[in-house]
Structure 1
Amino acid sequence: MRTVEVAGRGDIEVRGVQYDSRKVSAGDVFVAMRGGTTDGNEFIDAAIRKGAAAVVTDSLEKFVDLRTQQPELALALVDREANGGRRALAEISSAVFGAPEKRLKVSAVTGTNGKTTTAFLLEQMLKSVGRKCLLLGTIETHVGDVVRESEHTTPESRDVLALFAEGVRAGCTEVVMEMSSHALEQERVWGIPVDVAMFTNLTQDHLDYHGTMGKYAAAKARLFEGVGTGAPRVSVINADDAYGSTMKDAAAGVETVWTYGHRVEADFLARNVVLSALGATFDLVTPDGMREVRSPLFGWFNVDNLIAAMAAAIACGLTLDEAVRCAATIRSAPGRFEPVPNELGITVVVDYAHTDDALENVIGFARRLVGEGRVITMFGCGGDRDKTKRPKMGRVAAQGSDLVVVTSDNPRSENPMTIIEEILVGVRETEVECVVEVDRRVAIEVAIRAARAGDIVLLAGKGHEKTQTFAGGVVAFDDVAEAERVLLAIKAGVRT
């Protein structure tokens, strides 16, 4: 943190730290910074009224005004261009919460696809040998055995460190966390010393924020350089991915760099892979020898996720045999190729795939899994996000499926039909049968009722999510629950 100037009292007692004025209590430091959509400096007066004992601001104008109007208030001005607000938030939070990041071993995973699953798998491996873990991810936060829903993939540093402190109090010794490109770019993870860093892959996503694939990759690469800390001790990098070499270059200061994959030579290499409806079997070649791995996880994508987690687990101190034993009973994350049980002979699967690469992977596996049956894919694309991937997703869905149902995902502020029309540009490059149904609830029913025994229905895009976001607000919505409703109605002979 680069402090430009300080003013006011210097002998205050700090009781807490906040960046949201609504949560300020007496004695808190309020850190005000400009964000992408809001400017925290607009809420300084509200924070002071609630009892803020000190203010850190990245606005020179506000600093000068406060210094004049409230000369007794403890103030600090930080450099906005150097991301001083977020760095200040991280450093003050560390001090307030007793530096919990220094009392935990942190394993972090970044990548477009596979972050959530890889984090879930690594946590299970660590727990299998008695480690008590804190998990921070897209779907859930785990503090030991306590599970709660996550609001963000990677929260602001103040909230991350508060969770770290809770984990320490609960006896956790390990953290497994997802680090999104946004969090790395915005330095929401500033000052967190990562012990083991993992890279899964990089495909087109979030270009509405990063602008180019080069900038997107550079944001991910910061994990391997260290964000306000030294480089990680061990890096685990997907050698099969085109951006693996970029991450290896960024990991120049890392003590041990391991690669993994199944296509090119790597430190952890899957050979003789057999995929089936029962899971995956393969020979894993490692620096510690070769072992046969049997896992209930489906698909090539999960083979990669599992190898990454096994390599990271070994970096964390597990033996190869311990990792192999855990792989035999491991489970995937909710909403990741999650089957919806039924007695109709139809395979219905919910998956979070929301990029063209992820969608192509899950459809490809569904095709191999279903044999002579048909693949029916229902999906949409999120609003207020990268528009260029919409026709690409339409194309890969149509190329791999026998029937495509195009619907809404989270339209947010956009017109749902505008999004659908952009998807259809790619679909129309093929001859596949396509149904358009803007209402996702109805679209799920259309897709499932179109299936016959032996077919597979893939409900893609939202996975674990329990809501749907429109311009008018957020409504409760669960793909799994909707699929269960339709399947029960079909079994009962009812039209809903």
Structure 2
Amino acid sequence: MMLREILKDCEFIGDLRSEDVKKEIVKVTYDSRTVQNDSLFVAVKGEKYDGHDFIQDAIQKGASAVVCEYKYKGCSLSKQDETSYISFIKVKNSRKTLACISNNFFDRPSEKLIVTGITGTNGKTTTTYILKSILDICGKETGLIGTIQYMIKDAVFPALHTTPESLEFQKLLQDMLVAGCTHVISEVSSHALAQYRVDRTSFKTAVFTNLTRDHLDFHKTMEDYFLAKKRLFFELLSRDGTAILNIDDSYGRRLNCELRSFSKEINSKIKILTCGIENSADIMATDIRNSFHGLKFKILFSERKYDVLSSLIGLPNVYNILCAIGAAISLGVPFEYIIKGIEKTKTVRGRFENIDVGQDFLCIVDYAHTEDALQRLILTARESISSTHDPNVSSGLTHVPRIITVFGCGGDRDRGKRPKMGEIATHLSDIVIITSDNPRSEDPLKIIRQIESGAVNKNYLIVPDRKDAIKKSIDMACAGDIVLIAGKGHEDYQEIKGVRYKFSDRQVAKSAIEKKLKQKE
């Protein structure tokens, strides 16, 4: 593809030479290690490394064009050499330009697909899987981009990021298009929005699940966090697209007001569907019954009632289902298929996942790693105990069922939430085991002490080794108890000092339960 086609609609500083625009480019990359002859290298400044420091390396490997923000270090080329065969394109923001370049290089794939973006602090992953199940029931060929994995129809690929860098994102969309997909569902993280990873993507539907404290190590304030999420609806949603908003969430209500004003101001055809349980909305859930067997409730929409059954558990999943219903409605899916798709949705890996090996207690692995998610997890467990354990009816149990919570907090992330999560866990659980999560570059014991500082009861133990902590919780569990292992969910590694060691909460819990059952034989 010629350089002028790759740079179409991209903003850059100065003019390009005639010989530059005619240059044939065979590859676009922001990683100097993957440069080959006739590549376009985009120098992006990251958290750990600055791509500008690798421009010389990229040129030596064959890059014929470079996008950069400023003069790079260590280049030994003379000015004559520099201007003779290397095309330098100066821009204000390399990462933003990368999104434009990537979209062009892969021939604007989102314009030929129906793309749904789902954003929010919690619930993105589960909502994407519910919506995919609904579209599958309809016979739609669907791709999925998210935290756990990427899917192109039935083919599954490991996910490196919730939302990949723009180059990989647009490549995924193109691959989905080539494979015959008509629809794409993508989680859209706040990092992705702040770093322009999904810019130039045409979203037909945008979903807002909720917004609670998280990622303040990156965004610094909740306002900045909200503004990043807001970009999906104000800048990336098609002007004839649909926004699905959870208005039981205060930020959802704010987004609803601001988006309506904005849409009216620019005279767009953006449609808004609100959903909720507590507040009057377009799509509402009522008569909710929750147990460890699943959910049963009614949906009110357009003056009609629909019965919903789901194997998913807990009030947070009612909201996830509502958001998925809104997205499905916006995509023109008949309600009979929506209901069937919800019923067909299985538990998402690492999302309130029951590790069942035949034991007489419950063991739940969940990704909850924020204050709100941890609170909702424990309250869901508490509610489920209440719904299945009537103190007036003999259940054969020798004690009142307890909630045993195992959790830690990730290193190099928002430190402010650590004591708050310690407070929530010790207040709502019967027993808490504070342990390590992904300590990354931090001292695990320092993280644990920060969590401990928020404890409001003395009902906790400190077991720094996560494997030992999980084993301890399983050993402590009696009939009817619920063990909650929170924070890592689907992850199959533990990151310590820059190294990712193989580790799975699910596998450790399963092995510990099996060992306990064998000892009882």
Q: Which of 366, 378, 396 is residue 406 of structure 2 equivalent to?
A: 378
Give, as a single letter, the amino acid of the residue that structure 2 aligns with 1:14. Answer: I
Segment of structure 1 superposing worse, 214-223 or 249-258: 249-258
Q: Which of 25, 31, 45 is residue 36 of structure 2 equivalent to?
A: 25
Structure 1, unaligned runs of 5 or more: none
Q: Which of 324, 331, 335 is residue 320 of structure 1 equivalent to?
A: 335
Distance 1:59 1:232, change over 3 A: farther
Aligned to 1:344: 359
User: How far did 1:91 drift?
Assistant: 2.0
Q: Which of 164, 176, 181 is residue 155 of structure 1 equivalent to?
A: 164
User: How far did 1:400 drift?
Assistant: 1.1
Give, as a single letter, the amino acid of the residue that structure 2 aligns with 1:394. Answer: G
Aligned to 2:202: 193
Q: Is the 8 A contact 2:366 2:488 kept in 1?
A: yes
Give, as a single letter, the amino acid of the residue that structure 2 aligns with 1:444. Answer: I
- Provide TM-score, normalisation by structure 1: 0.95
User: How far did 1:382 drift?
Assistant: 0.2
Q: Is the 8 A contact 2:133 2:342 kept in 1?
A: no
Q: Distance in 2 between matches of 1:284 and 1:469?
A: 42
The answer to whether residue 304 in structure 2 is matched with residue 278 in structure 1 is no
Q: Distance in 2 between matches of 1:109 and 1:226?
A: 15
User: How far did 1:354 drift?
Assistant: 0.2
Q: Distance in 1 between matches of 2:35 and 2:123?
A: 36
Aligned to 1:246: 254
Q: Distance in 2 between matches of 1:282 and 1:311?
A: 16
The answer to whether residue 474 in structure 2 is matched with residue 448 in structure 1 is yes
- Superposed CA deviations along residues 237-261 of structure 1, whole A, max 9, x for unmatched, are 0110010123224423362101111
User: How far did 1:72 drift?
Assistant: 2.0
Distance 1:64 1:241, change over 3 A: farther
User: How far did 1:73 drift?
Assistant: 2.9
% identical equivalent positions: 39
- RMSD (CA atoms): 1.8
The answer to whether residue 104 in structure 2 is matched with residue 78 in structure 1 is no
Q: Distance in 1 between matches of 2:358 and 2:383?
A: 21
Segment of structure 1 superposing worse, 167-176 or 28-37: 28-37
- Superposed CA deviations along residues 310-339 of structure 1, whole A, max 9, x for unmatched, are 110111110122101221221232100001
Q: Which of 8, 12, 15 is residue 3 of structure 1 equivalent to?
A: 12
User: How far did 1:441 drift?
Assistant: 0.3
Distance 1:423 1:51, change over 3 A: same
Distance 1:472 1:243, change over 3 A: closer
Q: Is the 8 A contact 2:137 2:340 kept in 1?
A: no
Q: Distance in 2 between matches of 1:393 and 1:354?
A: 9
User: How far did 1:78 drift?
Assistant: 3.4
- Superposed CA deviations along residues 139-165 of structure 1, whole A, max 9, x for unmatched, are 100011101110001111100011111
Q: Distance in 2 between matches of 1:346 and 1:414?
A: 34
User: How far did 1:75 drift?
Assistant: 2.5
Q: Is the 8 A contact 2:125 2:147 kept in 1?
A: yes
Aligned to 1:15: 26
Q: Is the 8 A contact 2:247 2:275 kept in 1?
A: yes
User: How far did 1:65 drift?
Assistant: 7.0
Q: Distance in 2 between matches of 1:61 and 1:469?
A: 32
Aligned to 1:489: 515
Structure 2, unaligned runs of 5 or more: 1-9, 264-268, 390-399
User: How far did 1:471 drift?
Assistant: 1.0
Q: Is the 8 A contact 1:29 1:52 kept in 2?
A: yes
Q: Distance in 1 between matches of 2:254 and 2:279?
A: 16
Q: Distance in 2 between matches of 1:50 and 1:61?
A: 16
User: How far did 1:52 drift?
Assistant: 1.3
Residue 299 of structure 2 aligns to a residue whose secondary structure is: strand
The answer to whether residue 244 in structure 2 is matched with residue 236 in structure 1 is yes
Q: Distance in 2 between matches of 1:192 and 1:64?
A: 38
Q: Distance in 1 between matches of 2:240 and 2:436?
A: 40
User: How far did 1:222 drift?
Assistant: 0.6
Aligned to 2:503: 477
Superposed counterparts of 1:135-174, under 5 Å: 135-174=144-183
- Superposed CA deviations along residues 170-228 of structure 1, whole A, max 9, x for unmatched, are 0001110011111101111110011000000111000111111111001101110124x
How many residue pairs get aligned? The number is 488
Aligned to 2:376: 361
Q: Is the 8 A contact 2:210 2:252 kept in 1?
A: yes
- Provide TM-score, normalisation by structure 2: 0.90
User: How far did 1:102 drift?
Assistant: 1.2
Residue 70 of structure 1 aligns to a residue whose secondary structure is: helix
Give, as a single letter, the amino acid of the residue that structure 2 aligns with 1:378. Answer: V
Q: Distance in 1 between matches of 2:222 and 2:52?
A: 32
Superposed counterparts of 1:377-456, under 5 Å: 377-427=405-455, 429-431=456-458, 433-456=459-482
User: How far did 1:489 drift?
Assistant: 0.9
Q: Which of 314, 322, 345 is residue 330 of structure 1 equivalent to?
A: 345
Residue 360 of structure 2 aligns to a residue whose secondary structure is: coil
Q: Distance in 2 between matches of 1:288 and 1:13?
A: 58
User: How far did 1:34 drift?
Assistant: 1.7
The answer to whether residue 82 in structure 2 is matched with residue 56 in structure 1 is no
